Structures are given as structure tokens and as C-alpha cells.
Amino acid sequence: MQSNKILFLYLLIPFLILLESSAYGLSFVDTSGREIKIVNTPERVVSLSPAITDIILKVGAEEKLKGVTYHSIRAPKNVQRIGGFSSTSVQKILQLQPDLVFISSLHNEIKNKLVEEGISVVQLEAHNINEIIRNISIVGKIFGKETEAQKIIESIKRDLNFVSRKLRLLIHQNKKRVLRLMGRQTVMAPGDDSFQNDYIRAAGGMPPLWGKKGSIVNISLREWIDFNPEVIYHCDNDSGVLQFIRSTEGWNSVDAVKYNKIFSFPCELTCRASVNAGYFIKWLFSRIYDEELFSLEQTLTKEGIYKWHKIGLKLPYVKSSRIVYAKLRDFTSKALLIEFDRPMTVVSTLEGQRDGILTIGNHYLPPFLWEWAHRLRLEGSRNYIYKTLGLKSTTSSLLFTGADMDNLVITVKQYKQIKVYTLVTAGVRSNALRTSKDEGRFYEPGTINIIILTNTRLSPRAMTRAIITATEAKTAVLQELDIRSSQTPLINQATGTGTDNLIVVEGTGSDIKSSGGHTKMGELIGIAVYEAVKKAIKKQNGIVINRDIFQRLQERGISLFNLLSTVELPSGTDRKVLLAELERLLMIPKYQGFVLSALRLSDYYETEGPEVFEAFKQWASLIVKSIANKEVNILPYFSHTNMPLILKTTFNALITGIIEKNKCQKDKFNIFSS
């Protein structure tokens, strides 16, 4: 009954902000209480709020977006990065000549400066799901994208409705106590008025009530023990405090720690009140009640394929090729299915050589079902999926992935009469590794899956050699993009994900005996795989070659906030202002190039030896002189960290330069407290 009431409130969506629109413009009150009037659709927009940036992109107004913070990874590369929360550059904003700027409550000083310049400023924030939906609606109206905004809202409503209906099947299950863990060195959590607690309630959990308001509040040991969370979750960037709660008496006595019910989610889902709210709530629900859902026999919908669409594969032996959508334990799974008009031999790195195959494919299992699949293990989950898709295991060969099938990339390459198709999905965020360096331990699925078909008949030798050719092409992409190992990101590029797989189809037509790198067949396979993997990684993870320095640091597990939180600094140093200065410095091409070069050189240093260090140290000394406007020795601020020597020297140089400059320069950027 309680879940029904919650659903009703979300579906009702009482608009707390007055919103009117007409042929002459739009008028509303933003979350700061200011009345906003927009006469014309804005043409040049800057967004300092990643949550609002996500909405702008989702409704299809990206062409209006001219500037964002570096937190918005998926913004188009031609959009100017104007800093982070701590270092947003008013000068950069003004240079973009915006007619509208979206801000957060962290940007009051910037707001005042922009208003003085006559620029329209809008503050849209959300403390609950109702307000997320309100913000989506407002942004849709601002850009004339009401239809697109309504589709997003309906999607969120469907997800909420789904979770509510599934919760009714768990009618005898008491609500679990769920805590969103935050903090780096101390235990923190969202305040009572945070949207994150609304997420927990919508997912069927019971959040704590601390009697404290705010996006993040400190938690005492007494409060921690009294609440006794049964489930704890955190985002990727908040894992620093986990070791503390697991190893410290009292903190490790709660149920979630004792029974290892601690889960990690992507930060762009946990930390943003935006377009992915419904998706994340569904995922959170599936983790809170994973055991109960696994044992639940009753489902809301009939399992099996409920819709599909065709894809074009112009090969004489392909009877049909399509993407299918199927209900599996009430969640939607997706699969690429390619049906042959005759039995084929295929080579699969998951199953070996298979004869008499009529259907091959690639099956996407959404994260809501990962725990379910783990419990059934590969054979059990595979048999269940085959049954759901109406396939026979004796005549079918599928690959399995956690990369969304909607992000499938198909490439075709041709030389004279030879034609090669590759069909690729690729996710590299969660389990990329460097073979020969990293441990062989299980990770959640990311996976690069590759299917190769040709208009020729490949010999057994050509089929198996194609695996090497395709693997070399895949690894070339990972090196070019500088994809980092998820286990050792500071020192190793990835060579694969650890769960990558590939299918090569025998085919029909003229005989091909080899597919090595010196052959035309090998060349076509290599080019096709390279192109498809590169595009698939961009679609799934948003990773491109020319991504900014902040994203590259994050991929290595380097948090500027964490670095400056633990380092010993001169007395009176304002760490927040120092962080802003460091971020501002990294937006200057000269220093950004220094750090980018250091990242590359560090990889070389770790594998090839120390001969490059002295030359790099001389460069670092010149960087210090450039920042401080005087010669000064590099101080070892980061000697206590586990960073490689090249990177320690890099950040020692930058911080030394900033601190020495500020000792002699008392201006608005001064890092020392007055």
C-alpha cells in the first residue's frame, strides 16, 4: 500500500514551480526563487550543472550548448570546457557570449557577476523525483523540445511503476535499511532532504533520518550503529572510506558490512538528479532485493521476445538478422540474432568450434540481472536465455555482454569481390585489464564482443587466424584511446576487458585459406574491427581520443580533491582555493600539455626504465618557474602517495609553483587564509 502511495505522488507530479508558456515566451520561478522570463529560444547556452547538461543533451538541444564543466563527459567535444565546480571561469563563460547560463547553488558568486553583465541565469536543482521531472519539463519548454522532454518523463514514470509493481510481489518482505555512503576520509551521507534518499524510498528501501539537511552531512558512530544499515551503496569516487568502515571496530559491526552488502554504482547515476533517475532506481532496487528477486517464481509479464527490428546484412547465407527485445524475469534484455539458411561451422572463443549452427548472436544482459546471472552461473543463465529467446542450444551460439545492444556498431569493408562484416559491442569501464600484468579475477561485465562474417568460405585455418587479427586490431584501439586497466590504472593500459569474446563464421563462396596480417582478408578484418571497436566504445562509454585532462586523470583513479585532502601543506593554506587554482591551471594549454605528456611518459617509465626521469625533472623545473615567476626547487608534497614517480613529480611541480606564486602575490586567487 505504501508503494502505491509513493507511485501516485510521482505520477501526479505536483508542479511546485509556477510555469507558464505562450506564443510570446516562457515565464517561471527557478529554485532560487527568482522569476525568470525567456522571450526567445536561447541560441548560446552554458551549463554549470551536469544534471541540467544531461537533460539538454537528452532532449536533443546539444547544438545550443556552448560551454559545460569538465564533469559532463558525454557533451560533444566541440563544446568548451569552462572548469569544474571549484574553478569555473567567468572569463571563459563571457567569451562564449551566452544568452542563458544554468547554474547550481554552488555558483552564487558567478551568478552575481553574470547578472551584472546582463546575462540570463537559471538555477534548477532537485531534492526529489518530482522536482527532477519538473526540471526536465522546464528545460524542454525552454528549448522547444516539449515532446522529447515528455518522452523522458514517461520513461521515468514507467520505471517507477515497474519497481512499484515488483515490490508488491515482495509483500511479505520488510523494507531494508539502505544508506548512501559518501566521504573520502570520514563517514558522510546525504541529508534528509536529498534526492538520493528519495531514490532509496522509490527503490523500496528505508533511508536514515538524521535530522540534518544538506547534500552531504557528517555521520557519528552512534548514528551509524543506531541505524544499522542492511545495504550500503556508494559511487565509484566514494570508495576511499570503505577500508575504514570495514576495518574499524564499531563501524564494521553493522549488518551491511558483516554480510558484505556493499554495492558500487557509476557516479553519473548516483550523484545526479537527472534523466537517468528511473534507470538507477530500477538498478538500486535489483541490488537491495537481489536474493528475494532471485528466489521469486512469480513474474509480472510473460517471458520471451516482444518486439524486434531488422538490420541489414547482405550476405547470401543470412536468412534474417535483427535486434530483438525480450522480457527476462520482467526486465528487458536485448539480443542480436543472425539466422542462417543452412547449417554453418563457427569458431567461438566462448565455446570453441561449433558445427551445424543455424543461429549466432550477441546477448545483452542489463545490470539489473547481473546478480541473477552470477547465481545461475554461465551454463544455467545461458540455457535460460536460450529458452527465453526460443533457441536451441544444439544449433545456436551466442556471446554475452553487459554492453547495451542499442550501441551495436556494424562495419563493412570490401576489396574487389571480398566483403567483410563486423558487428561489435564494447564496454571498457568496469573490467578492462592488461594481460600478463593484472590478476585473473572476476568483474562485472563490460566486454568487447566481435562477430565476423564474410561473403567467402573461410578455411579452418583462416577462421582461427582471424581471431588473432581481430584481437590485434581491438588492442590497437585500446592503446590509441589509452584505455586504462581497471585493476592497475595508474601504471597500465588495457589490452582487453578479460571477458572479451569473438565468433567467426565459416561463410560460403570462394575459398579463403588465410586471414593473417599480410593477406587482403586479414587487412579487411583488421580495418573493420578497428573501426567498429572504436565507435562502439564511444557509443557505450563516451570515450574519444581528444577527451580532456580531467577525464584522463579520473580514469587513472586520480582525484585532485583526494590528493589535496591528504597532503601536508603550508600553514594557512585554503585547500578549496588551492584546488580551484590547480583546476584553473590545468585548463591552460601549456600546463595541460605538460600533464598529458607526463601521463604518457609515466607509462613508458614504468616499463622501460629510469633514463627519462632526469630530462622530465628538468622540464618540471621549468614549469615551476613558469607558474611561480621565479626559480624554486620542487618540494615533495606527494611523496607519501602511491603514484608513480613521474606523476608525483608532475603534481609536486604544479603545487610548488602555485604555492610559491601565492606567497608573493596577494590577489583574489590567494590560497592562504587571511
Own/partner pairs, 308-313, CB within 8 angstroms, 24+ separation:
311/336, 311/408, 311/410, 313/338, 313/410, 313/421, 313/453
The predicted structure's pLDDT at residue 14? 42
Q: Out of 98-102, 113-117, 511-515, pick the least confident.
A: 113-117
C-alpha cell at 132: 527532477
The pLDDT-based confidence of 17 (bands split at 50, 70, 90) is very low
E strands, 152-218, in order: 178-180, 188-189, 217-218
- Is residue 350 scored above 50 in pLDDT? yes
C-alpha cell at 621: 623545473
Q: Are 525 and 469 in contact (CB under 8 A)?
A: yes
The predicted structure's pLDDT at residue 445? 46
**3-class DSSP state for residue 492?**
coil
- In terms of DSSP bridges, do strands 318-328 and 304-310 run parallel, antiparallel, or are they unpaired? antiparallel
Among the listed residues 656, 555, 542, 533, the one whose alpha carbon sits nearest the alpha carbon of residue 603: 555
The predicted structure's pLDDT at residue 241? 86
Amino acid, res. 203: A
Over residues 472-489, the pLDDT tens digits come to 999 999 999 999 998 889
The predicted structure's pLDDT at residue 442? 41
Average pLDDT value for residue range 44-53: 94
Residue with C-alpha cell 569501464?
Answer: 429
Give the CATH fold of the 10-152 domain.
Answer: Rossmann fold (3.40.50)
Among the listed residues 281, 249, 246, the one whose alpha carbon sits nearest the alpha carbon of residue 265: 281
Residues 6+ apart with CB under 8 A from 622: none
Average pLDDT value for residue range 170-193: 89
Q: Are 622 and 654 in contact (CB under 8 A)?
A: no
The runs of H, that is alpha helices, within 38-194 are 50-59, 90-95, 108-116, 129-142, 146-169
The predicted structure's pLDDT at residue 527? 97
Identify which of 87-91, 111-115, 318-322 has the greatest average pLDDT: 318-322
Task: Return the percentage of the chain with pLDDT > 90, whole number.
Answer: 68
Q: Are 398 and 365 in contact (CB under 8 A)?
A: no
Average pLDDT value for residue range 112-140: 94
Burial level of 494, CB count in 10 A (0-12/13-18/19+)?
A: buried
C-alpha cell at 247: 576495518
Q: Are 478 and 428 in contact (CB under 8 A)?
A: yes
Fold equal for 10-152 and 304-541: no
What letter would DSSP give residue 262? E
What letter would DSSP give residue 674? -
Q: Are 159 and 167 in contact (CB under 8 A)?
A: no
Give the CATH fold of the 170-295 domain.
Answer: Rossmann fold (3.40.50)
Average pLDDT value for residue range 132-150: 96
Please state which CATH number belongs to domain 304-541: 3.60.70
- Is residue 402 scored above 50 in pLDDT? yes
The predicted structure's pLDDT at residue 672? 57
Among the listed residues 567, 599, 568, the one whose alpha carbon sits nearest the alpha carbon of residue 586: 599
The predicted structure's pLDDT at residue 238? 63
Average pLDDT value for residue range 144-155: 97
Residue with C-alpha cell 618557474?
Answer: 625
Q: Where are the domains of the chain?
A: 10-152, 170-295, 304-541, 558-664
Whole-prediction pTM: 0.89
DSSP 3-state percent helix, strand, coil across the chain (nearest 5): 45, 20, 35
CA separation for the pair 343, 331 (Å, rounded):
32
Average pLDDT value for residue range 300-315: 95
CB-side exposure of 126: number of CA atoms within 13 Å?
A: 28
CA separation for the pair 459, 442 (Å, rounded):
34
The predicted structure's pLDDT at residue 11? 47
Helix axes 129-142, 146-169, angle to 10 degrees: 160
Over residues 187-212, the pLDDT tens digits come to 999 999 999 999 999 999 999 999 99
- Is residue 86 scored above 70 in pLDDT? no
Q: Are 420 and 414 in contact (CB under 8 A)?
A: yes
**3-class DSSP state for residue 410?**
strand
Average pLDDT value for residue range 156-166: 96
Sign of CA dihedral 481, 63, 51, 132: negative
Phi and psi (nearest 5°) for 353? -75, 135
**3-class DSSP state for residue 118?**
coil
- Is residue 12 scored above 60 in pLDDT? no
Q: Are 251 and 257 in contact (CB under 8 A)?
A: yes
Average pLDDT value for residue range 311-330: 96
- Is residue 652 scored above 80 in pLDDT? yes
The predicted structure's pLDDT at residue 663? 80
Over residues 562-612, the pLDDT tens digits come to 888 878 888 888 888 898 899 889 989 999 999 999 999 998 887 776 778
Average pLDDT value for residue range 155-159: 97
Sign of CA dihedral 150, 12, 50, 142: positive
The pLDDT-based confidence of 21 (bands split at 50, 70, 90) is very low
Q: What angle is formed at CA 174 by the lines to CA 272 and CA 251, rounded to 5 degrees?
A: 65
Alpha carbon distances (Å) from 63 to 44, 56, 89, 96, 152: 9, 9, 22, 14, 19
The pLDDT-based confidence of 129 (bands split at 50, 70, 90) is very high
Among the listed residues 41, 34, 59, the one whose alpha carbon sits nearest the alpha carbon of residue 123: 34
CA separation for the pair 63, 43 (Å, rounded):
8
- Is residue 171 scored above 80 in pLDDT? no
For the chain, the average pLDDT equals: 89
Please state whether 568 falls in left (phi above 0), alpha (psi between -120 and 50) or beta. beta
Residues 6+ apart with CB under 8 A from 500: 349, 447, 448, 449, 450, 474
**3-class DSSP state for residue 652?**
helix
CA separation for the pair 354, 187 (Å, rounded):
53
The predicted structure's pLDDT at residue 440? 44
